[in-house]
Amino acid sequence: MDIAISKNSVPIRLTEERWFHIIENHDDLAGHYDNVLQTIEDPDYIVEGYEWALIALKRVSKSKFLAVVYKEISKMDGFVITAYFTSKLSLEKEVVLWQKK
């Protein structure tokens, strides 16, 4: 298990179980473990997800993002839910909570 620190200074856990879930469902992410952690710590955007989840976004090309969905359950603990690459994202339609300057 590794931990990344979110922009809200919350430690976010990426467990082996979650990582295997991610690469099992999104095999294009195999080999991008460090990128997932880096996206939490240094995203380009954080948008609102479902049921209090947050989605950290890191642009990887003009129209493609690495999205990492996570929850902050307290000021001292959080966890990764999933991660995926997407080009089906319109920032204009998202609730942007944080943006890199």
- Interval 3-57: pLDDT, tens: 999 999 999 999 999 999 999 999 999 999 999 999 999 999 999 999 999 999 9
CATH number (domain holding residue 59): 3.10.450
Domain hosting residue 66, numbered range: 2-87
With a CB cutoff of 8 Å and minimum separation 6, the contacts of 88 are none
Task: Indicate the helix (H) or strand (E) that contains 4.
Answer: strand 2-5
> Does some domain include residue 12?
yes
> Does some domain include residue 49?
yes
> Does some domain include residue 97?
no
> Does some domain include residue 101?
no
> Does some domain include residue 95?
no
**90 pLDDT higher than 90:** no
Q: Work out how many domains the chain is built from and give that number.
A: 1
